[in-house]
Structure 1
Amino acid sequence: MKIKRLKKAGIILLLIICLFFNMVKANTEDEEDININEILQVTSAEVDMPKTSSRIALIYDRASGEVIYEKNGYRKAKMASTTKIMTSLIVLEKGNLSDTVTVSKKAAGTGGSRLGLKTNDKITVNDLLMGLMLESGNDAAIALAEHIGGGVEKFADLMNAKAKELGLKNTHFAVPHGLDNEEHYTTALELAKITDYALKIEKFRNIVATKEYNVTINGYNKVISNTNELLGSLDGVYGVKTGFTNGAGRCLVTSCKRGELDIITIVLGADTKKIRTTDSINLINYAYKNYKVMNIENIINQKFEEWKNIREKAIIVNKGILENATIKLGEFKYTKRAIRNADIDNINIEANCLMYLEAPVEANKKIGTLKVKVREETIQTIDILVERAIRKKEIKDYFYQILKVIY
């Protein structure tokens, strides 16, 4: 009986150890070894359509805020440590980088990928941020959440408030590190929008572009390295964040700029690190082989002027001090956009405008719309406005008009 009990206890202990190991592994930044040079060599730059094995993939044009390519890009999904893009954004907007933080027991005990903090360690907010984004430290995430927000839940409230401010309707944050949680999700498109916003902050750009950094913990230096395998390996890549949990799979958010074309690629739900890397390279190669940034504003203004020369004099203002209205275009949603090479000569306009107005007419009154089209797709709609106010004729105006006819 005693031997049987010991065997049972041994089996239970083994199961507990296996379960613990699996939990730790599930929440550890992906440590799968890959040969980045080998992947770069076998990944062709001649890509007519992106080849992706990840469950979710997207290419985002930073100039216009439009999607170049997507695969399940609007589907809600777990995001793993790419969460830390929003975490760092909140810290940069709400915190003081020179503050010294005393690490709590909760932060020190956080599992998964770690900076290696211990209870009562002292470290600056700046170095916690570096540890968060380079080493993907979950312990750093909790320490920052407690320091900036007063706790994980309150910090998550700040994250969700920012998501609402950015107009994100399919994103919700529950934790600052991205460990699996059913109430913690985003979409590839909304993650790209968060990243685009963060990249406009110089300090954030500098952090995610850093390959190695010396953090100081309790006065002692520690060298940390960036987990982003494409940084320094692929032309134009300047950030931003890796991620991995069992629920999210392997994830990678990448920013890349060559010439004027500045893009963000999102890969979520890859089965291996090699797949997420290969998919990201394929997305980048596809964008730079097939797209070019065009000055939409210049093209449209030129085409609108040609249209105006023909149609503007036909816009009649009944009983107005002026017989005709002069018109102009309203604000552009964006002035530049990545356009597929094959469509550069297929950018056109379609204008719909009122041709008969009753005085008085206010300045900037909307009297039509101009659709910007690439082939049959409308990529932007701009208001057509009256340029100058036109008042209604008064009796004296009719009198002067008669005198002009007579004399």
Structure 2
Amino acid sequence: MLGQYFNWRTLLAIIAIGIVTGTIFYSNYLADKIAVDERLKVEQWVEAGRFLIMAPIDADTKLPSLIRNEQKSIPIIETDEKDSIVSYINIDSSKIANDPGYLASKLKEFKGQNQPIILEISKDPLLINKYYFGHSALLQQVRYYPMVQLFIVALFIIITIFSLQIRNKSTQNQVWAGMAKETAHQLGTPVSSLQGWVEMLKEENAQSQIATEIEKDVQRLRLVSDRFGKIGSTPQLEPNNVVRQVEEMVEYIRKRATGKVHLEVKKNKADMIAAVSPPLFDWVIENLLKNALDAMDGKGNITVDMHEEERTIIIDVTDTGKGIVSQNINRVFKPGFTTKKRGWGLGLSLSKRIIEQYHKGQLYVKHSEPGKGTTFRIVLKK
């Protein structure tokens, strides 16, 4: 059960989450240490100011002056006991000049960030100074660092997955093309041989009926070979009446279906023209109709509904079969997926490739309900 969900993508996500989580905790730890250190620096700065105000004339003020002068990173606003602003340091003066309310907004911001340091000047009357301070640039960078790293890790994962998908898709395309060309090559030899035997049988009048039936099968083999050959290369698209092609394929399947299967074609126009490769397009319709037959176990209704819109031609193939469970709808087009006891699960995968890569259209499951049936939709450009 766990193996179904645990793959390289899951591992990559876990590693990324671990890195980001660890970074967030460590960054918060560093930020807390820096915040404690900055408060201590502000306290020293305030005490140095008190000493400079109250120190005797002959006192050594070199160290307090150094502490006051070297504090250039932490923004501080000094207020009186009524929170009226008295002075400030390390705040952009140009912004204060352009915006009269800027200093008041910074004071409000500092109140939300840190508790003020209070300096009592006298008790009677009560005079105090409050020193509100904000975060230094270093502390802000440390706090925002996890977000930056999260973005970088997410970008790395996206690029990695995208690259792997492109590589896998390229490999898959090469496999499909190689398989198609090899199949066409392997079918070509017996087809040529059978054609020779057909010509010999035709010379004997008594065998003409047998020769006719064999010739039909030979033509069918040639069609299969032609289809696979076109899968391995870029097919030539030509304007064709897809209504006629669909109707011919429905007739072909009707002759091979049981009497309990009813096939119906609906259309809003007699002619609908689209650029298609006839052998490959017929193959898609045949695959969808055969899947519908298999899903109904020999009885039911198959409806092919075609209608033309402003820029597209829509073809819906609907059956009254067993339907597809919801968790399998996104898997039906994957190579190798099949619910049949026989088959390789390539029909729908090849059909999707033909419609979407070669014809620049769409093929998808429009609707499916277990026990009631499925509708596959083809969308072609006019």
Verify same fold: TM over 0.5.
no
Structure with greater strand percent = 1
Structure with greater helix percent = 2
Rg larger in 1 or in 2? 2
Q: What range describes the TM-score normalised by the shorter chain of this pair?
A: under 0.3
TM-score relative to the length of structure 1: 0.18
